[in-house]
Each structure stands twice: as structure tokens, then as C-alpha cells.
Amino acid sequence: MKPESTRETYVHQFKRFARHIEIEKYSRRQLAGKKGKLLLLEHFATLPLRSRRPVLSGLASVWKIGLGLPWPIDAKVDVGKLPKIRRELSPPDSTVKIWHEKLLHEPSVYMRCLWLLIAQSGQRPHTVSKLRWSHVRYDENGAPCEIRVIGADEGLKTYADVAWHLPPNVQDVLVELRRWLKDSGEGDPILPWMNGWGRIEHSCHATRVLYACHWERLRARYGLPKLRMKDLRHWVASRCRDARLEEQARAYLQGHEQPINNMGDHYDNRDVVTNLARQAQALPLGPLGIFEKAEVDVVATIPPEIMMALIGYRDNQIGYPELQSRLEAWRIKANLEVRTDGR
């Protein structure tokens, strides 16, 4: 029931426990009794204080689901108060910039797409592996403009939905990738299984481990600084906050559960179209747009209401006469402001 990466962590934690206590010396009956509890507490005592909370959770899952034994530990009584898990830091912009500049000219469209899908959205590798061509939406010109996924239907972690307004470089790489893949159908993964020699299984989903192998090859090939895929999830969240992107729109972008901290968050539930427009307005070139500052500055001079109107026109939500009216009002307002300043 757990995602692949979580299962791997739990297995690692349990194997370490099994080696420490030499589990082969004990019968199932002994583990189910007082001896099992004593062995678990003995192992916990050897762990660093900050490691005990996640290890407790992992061992409990394997103990109950894997071994089918009742969990003997009462955390409050037997373990006591534990520190919270330390949050990981967002990587510095300078590190992400080095990766971005090197991979701009990466010859493999598959590898460029892997980089952009993760760096421009901050989505989990598990989510990226589940993205299919049928999740891509196109504008009236036939260009990819959005990705929408219903998390529960695709088995995403936490079942959170994804709604992502695609920045220009992601649109371009998807067009190039689809042309390169040739035989991919609508039900096939966008980034299918591909080994290190370039052999592709169009209908087969990749795994987090496979993506990690490709990622490390890229790092080694270009001599790049250490940057994990999970680090970009932190970095994108930081960029969204710096750009003042609404939390609901950020959650849709990253495939994260909608944040509900108070009754205002509970009732203020905007539709997907509004949240996609917010993404386009706050991050027109995506999180990586910070490294294309000149273009961002030009877009930033356009008022939000005009940007929303342009997006609405593109998505067939408003007609040309209304768009023309709003543009004319903007022009008149700008002229009046210039006269007021006496220039």
C-alpha cells in the first residue's frame, strides 16, 4: 500500500534491526511476546534521538503487515516524547542554475524532459512516472498547454490531483519527445521505461530507481554538484512562495494535498481553471524562469487582469471583442498615468 520509496526505507530499517538483534535466534512466538518488545526497545536505545520517530513508524508497519504480529510498543509509555523529523533544506539557486544551464543542451530529449518535468513542477518521481499522454491537454493550435491528473484514478501518493499550467520550455520538450518516441499511444507513459542503452518499452512505467539511475548518469557526465530529485521538490516550493503563488495553486502544481489550516482554507476552494491561471500569472516561465530574468521582467510589466484575459482568450473562455476592450482600457489607463506624471 505504500509508495516504492517508502517500502524500500522500511525494508532497510527492518533489516538493520534484524541484524542487530540476530532475529534468526528467536521464534515467532517469542517475537510476539515480551521478548519481542524488549528487543525492539533495545534497538531503539542504540539509535540517534532524531532517527527514532521514523524508525518507529517503519518497524511498526513491517511488524504488523509483514510479520502479522501485534505491535507491542506504546509510544507514549515505552518511548516517550521524541523530536520532530528535521526538515530538509531547499537547495541554493546557484546549484539549480548550474544543472539548468548544462541540461539546456543535453542531446537526449528523454533526459531533458526528465529534468524539466521535475525541476519545473517539483513533482515526485513516482508521480512523473504515472503521467500519460492522455493527461496532456492542448490549446486551439494543438500545442500542449496543461497536464491534469486525478490522483485517485492513477494511484498517486496521497491521491492528490495534479493540475499544471505548462511553461514554454516544457511545452516544447513534450512536442519534441512525442515526435522522438513515434509509437507512443495516448495510454502510454510520457517518460516510459528506458534502460541505460536507450532501449524503450513504450507501455511500461518507469520506476523511481530507474529515474535515479538516469539522474546520476547526468550528474556524472557533466560533473554537476549534488542535487537529488527530491531536493527540487523543496526548491520549487520555495520558488512558489517567493513568487507569492497561492497555496492551492502550488498544491495542484506539485501534486500535493490541498492545505487546509483554517475554515477560510476549507471554504475558499477555487476551481482548477482559476488555479491554473494563477500558476501562469505568478510563474509564466515556471520556477526555472528565475534564470531567464530578462523575459520575466517584460511579463511582469503586464497587469494581472490583462494576463488573465489573455489566458482566457487562449482557452476560449472569453471572445476577441472582450479581449480587445480590456486591452484598450489598459492602453487608455497607461496614457492617463503618463499625462498625470507630466511626461
Strand partners, 164: 147
At 100, phi and psi to the nearest 5? -60, -45
Q: Residue 24 — very low, low, confident or very high, per pLDDT cuts 50/70/90?
A: very high
Mind listing the pLDDT tens digit for each residue in 125-175? 999 999 999 999 999 889 999 999 998 888 887 788 999 999 999 999 999
Would you give the DSSP letter of residue 189? B
CA max distance for the chain: 90
CATH of domain 93-267: 1.10.443.10
What 206-211 contacts at long range (C-beta under 8 Å, 24+ apart), as own/partner pairs, is: 206/129, 207/4, 207/129, 208/4, 208/5, 208/124, 208/125, 208/126, 208/129, 209/4, 211/114, 211/125, 211/128, 211/129
Residue length of the chain: 343
- Collapse the DSSP code of 222 into the 3-class scheme (helix H, G, I; strand E, B; otherwise coil) and give the result: helix
Q: Which distant-in-sequence residues (6+ apart) come within 8 Å of 39 by Cβ?
A: 21, 26, 31
Q: What is the residue type of 57? A: S
Mind listing the pLDDT tens digit for each residue in 230-248? 999 999 999 999 999 999 9
Q: What is the residue type of 156? A: L
Give pLDDT, residue 294. Answer: 45
> What radius of gyration, in Å, describes the C-alpha atoms of the chain?
25
Q: Residue 295 — very low, low, confident or very high, per pLDDT cuts 50/70/90?
A: very low
